[in-house]
Amino acid sequence: MKRRLISVKERATRAEFSRELALAKKAARAAGEILRGYWKRGGYTIASKGKDNPVTQADLEADRVLKHMLAEPFPDYGWLSEETADSADRLKRRRVWIVDPLDGTKEFINGVPEFCVAIALIEDGEPILGVTYNPIRREMFWGARGTGCYLNTRRVRVSRTRMLHRAKVLASRSEAARGEWQVFHGRLLVSPTGSVAYKLALVAAGMGDATFTRSPKSEWDIASGAALVAIAGGTITDIRGHKLRFNNRNVKVEGLIADNTTLHAQLLKVAPHPPLARR
């Protein structure tokens, strides 16, 4: 089997982000160990940031570690995190770290091992690097522009499923519990799964064919997954099919669809407006 020759341009692209990628993976593991420790010990405090939006001691400690390890070495980069007070200064920056120190807080609290640390690097609104780490399952999904997408040490890419009725669609556990996916019974193979960042990483790795939600999401929920899906050959848009851009003043996104690209046109027909429930 012939080895693929790497161009000078591709080598330069890989080298450009090697430091950021190495630090992002190291920071994800460090934050993940904090989450893992609280997961095992319990006894952490839980507060509320609003309706159905808990925050724990673990979220805040992991956030401090990420900011120390990522923001300080790159003072010219902007910073956006779910657990850090936002600053409009990031809007002036060409490159911005967007992180969620614990995506899937409800899963974490309820003992479901489907939460993660999510780290993305954005350049001119485009996600160019993503690291998503599940510290309980020891799954590190990572990639950057020019490197390919990996799960731990294995290179991965999106699935090749072509028929929507055969596609494994990862659904929000909360939405499934509320009955919002009942209308797709018999039409899609629906698999309730935790954190949205984790679902996107699974799609990137071909461990799910697609995921979508009509619920608004924040940039920190999806930035790392958006990078991974794109790097792995997939497609991600908002629920209406519009291209996503990051580091906006308003960090809310109107839902999303992410898949292996082949399924995207089919999903755009059913995801924004679900079919009527069968009687």
- Give residue 223's domain range: 164-270
User: In terms of domains, do 174 and 220 share one?
Assistant: yes
pLDDT digits 0-9 by tens, 193-239: 999 999 999 999 999 999 999 999 999 999 999 999 999 999 999 99
Asked whether residue 171 is assigned to any structural domain, the reply reads: yes
Predicted pLDDT at 244 = 97
User: In terms of domains, do 119 and 60 share one?
Assistant: yes
Q: What percent of the chain has pLDDT over 90?
A: 81
What is the C-alpha separation between 185 and 176, in angstroms, rounded?
Answer: 11
Asked whether residue 135 is assigned to any structural domain, the reply reads: yes
122 CB-near residues (< 8 Å, 6+ apart): 95, 96, 97, 98, 128, 223, 246, 247
User: In terms of domains, do 16 and 131 share one?
Assistant: yes
State mean pLDDT over 161-181: 93
User: In terms of domains, do 68 and 134 share one?
Assistant: yes
User: In terms of domains, do 139 and 42 share one?
Assistant: yes
pLDDT digits 0-9 by tens, 56-89: 999 999 999 999 999 999 999 999 999 999 999 9
User: In terms of domains, do 132 and 176 share one?
Assistant: no
What would the DSSP string read from start to end of 130-185?
Answer: EEEEETTTTEEEEEETTTEEEETTEEE-------GGG-EEEEEHHHHHTTTTGGGB
CATH number at residue 214: 3.40.190.80
What is the C-alpha separation between 69 and 223, in angstroms, rounded?
Answer: 19
Asked whether residue 277 is assigned to any structural domain, the reply reads: no
User: In terms of domains, do 239 and 116 share one?
Assistant: no
Asked whether residue 279 is assigned to any structural domain, the reply reads: no
Q: Which of 125, 156, 187 lies at the terminal end of a domain, its last residue?
A: 156
Tally of domains in the chain: 2
Q: Model's pTM, two decimal places?
A: 0.92
User: In terms of domains, do 121 and 171 share one?
Assistant: no
